[in-house]
Amino acid sequence: MKTQEQEHILIIGAGLCGSLLALRMAQRGYKVTLMEKRPDLRKEIVDSGRSINLAFSDRGMKGLRLAGLEDKVLPLCIPMNGRMIHNAEGQLFMSPYSGRNEYINSISREDLNIMLLDECDKMPAIKMQFNQKCTGVNIETAQATFEDHKTGETITYQADVVMGADGVGSALRKSMLEHRKFLFSYGQDFLTHGYKELSFPPKADGEFLVEKNALHIWPRGKDMMIALPNLDGSFTVTLFLSWEEGKDSFDSLNTDEAVLDYFKREYPDALALMPDLLTEFKENPTSPLGTIKCSPWHAYGKVLLLGDAAHGIVPFYGQGMNSAFEDIYVLDQYLDQYAGDWKTVFKAYQEERKEDTDAIADLAVDNFHEMKAHTARPIFQEKRKLEIAFEEAFPTEYFSKYALVTFREDLRYSEAMRRGRVQDKAILNLIYDGKFTKDMSLRTKLDLMKQETRKMLHDE
């Protein structure tokens, strides 16, 4: 049997998950080969085809902290303290993410990926190769085949273990699906909405055109737009709109007039900040949004899927990358326990993790509806105000569903979902039924809420 130092892990995909995974595996003493189909984004301009910036929060930090990168990532972050809601009447109001001063961060995908690749470069145990597209994996023998984008040459590499961090279109997952010697479940579920990225430029002096420390949302019931700040003073704006259904859709916005008319009607304050709207609308791609679930994530103790390759989710909880980084944290714990026995490591890892990534996938779809429609409704705003008041007054006692999912990195997603959903239902029922009276103290309201939650949990 090989020692850990001799064992060779081949990782497909040097995106966010693959580069952190490579680093952590090398830190644990393995020999790592990291293969990426795109060019090295530190040397060439690479269109990632994905969101330009991301919401980065505590679960993601847990993964980076494990690799000793907390100090490296903080300078890349812009704190966002809450949602700045831009309602249809043009009014703005800030809805904090928490009553405990907790916040999430906006981070550039490229800056984060570059930082991770630079860290990989410092590890002699990691060999990185770019322009190498995986075309298939023999999942019984851990042999992976790559086509060199520049020379067209095809090479097959032998590893002890192959890990697929190659995103939603994973080549490893495809090889597992086509293997047919074991039962592999696979499902993908697309939303009727797609997304397009647009932008607000910085002011001439490099400052931000709207509040910097917020995630801006324009909820419009059927559609929505969001904007996250970038370090250069610009914002990346994402429009979520139906592909073809309804009055307004990507299909129907097919002329400059139609685009302008739609933005004048729905997002007039944003339109005033978008000098390049028509060019960006035409030139930037419209992309789909989907959930991918599959099982098993591993086979023969030779291959394992992680990150989006194992569980692609829609972006409405801002947890795709965060959950991918948390994957690495959870895997690492099983390596502490069972290193040397990959089959057991992979099995135990999936047994714990699948329930949690299924939970965040479902929560993310729920949040799509919450963000585009509910955030603008008075009952939802009343609920959020009460939750913030509970969190401010009783910071160790009350955590909203959002806080359980986003800030309680000690809690599994599945548990955050279970507690959060029941709590949401309880609080909405109590508001709707007029049970929270004006003269009631906050303490009494919280006790009533807890009582209702306990009753509902008991009835589950």
Binders of ligand FAD: how many residues, by CB under 6 A? Answer: 34
Q: Which of 248, 307, 414, 420 binds ligand FAD (CB under 6 A)?
A: 307
Q: Is 194 in the site for ligand FAD (CB under 6 A)?
A: no
Q: Is 303 in the site for ligand FAD (CB under 6 A)?
A: no
Q: Give the span between the Cα atoms of 21 and 251, in whole angstroms.
A: 40
Q: Give the span between the Cα atoms of 413 and 211, in whole angstroms.
A: 31
Q: Which of 9, 26, 55, 361 binds ligand FAD (CB under 6 A)?
A: 55
Q: Which of 108, 291, 319, 414 binds ligand FAD (CB under 6 A)?
A: 319
Measured from the CB atom, is 55 or 330 closer to ligand FAD? 55
**396 DSSP assignment:** T
Question: To which H or E segment does residue 209 belong?
Answer: none
Q: Is 315 in the site for ligand FAD (CB under 6 A)?
A: yes
Spatial neighbors of 139 by CB under 8 A, at least 6 apart, are 162, 172, 175, 176, 179, 299, 300, 302, 303
> CA separation (Å) from 66 to 111, 207, 451?
19, 34, 38
**Rounded to the nearest whole angstrom, what is the least distance from the CB of residue 59 to ligand FAD in the complex?**
9
Q: Which of 80, 84, 85, 134 binds ligand FAD (CB under 6 A)?
A: 134
- Judge contact between 37 and 149, C-beta under 8 A: yes
- Identify which range of 26-34, 166-174, 359-367, 375-383 contacts ligand FAD by CB under 6 A: 166-174
Helices 320-338 and 58-66: crossing angle in degrees, nearest 10, is: 40
Q: Which of 9, 13, 388, 407 binds ligand FAD (CB under 6 A)?
A: 13
Measured from the CB atom, is 284 or 344 closer to ligand FAD? 284
Measured from the CB atom, is 35 or 237 closer to ligand FAD? 35
> What are residue 306's phi and psi, to 5 degrees?
-140, 165
Q: Is 14 in the site for ligand FAD (CB under 6 A)?
A: yes
Question: To which H or E segment does residue 132 belong?
Answer: strand 132-138
**Rounded to the nearest whole angstrom, what is the least distance from the CB of residue 439 to ligand FAD in the complex?**
41
Whole-angstrom distance between the N-terminal and C-terminal Cα of the chain? 49
Asked if omega into 79 is within 30° of 0 (cis), the reply is no
**Rounded to the nearest whole angstrom, what is the least distance from the CB of residue 459 to ligand FAD in the complex?**
34
Q: Is 51 in the site for ligand FAD (CB under 6 A)?
A: yes
Q: Is 58 in the site for ligand FAD (CB under 6 A)?
A: no
Please state the separation of Cα 132 from the chain's center in Å: 25
Q: Which of 8, 9, 23, 36 binds ligand FAD (CB under 6 A)?
A: 36
Structure tokens at 176: 């597992």
Footprint of ligand FAD on residues 205-264 (CB under 6 A)?
238
Tally Cβ neighbours within 10 Å of residue 68: 12
- Identify which range of 77-85, 315-323, 332-340, 358-366 contacts ligand FAD by CB under 6 A: 315-323
Structure tokens at 173: 């997952």
Measured from the CB atom, is 16 or 376 closer to ligand FAD? 16
Measured from the CB atom, is 229 or 318 closer to ligand FAD? 318
Q: Give the span between the Cα atoms of 276 and 387, in whole angstroms.
A: 39
Alpha carbons within 13 angstroms on the beta-carbon side of residue 119 total 26
Write out the residues near ligand FAD by the rule CB under 6 A: 12-18, 35-38, 50-51, 54-55, 133-134, 165-167, 169, 171, 195, 238, 307-309, 315, 318-322, 324
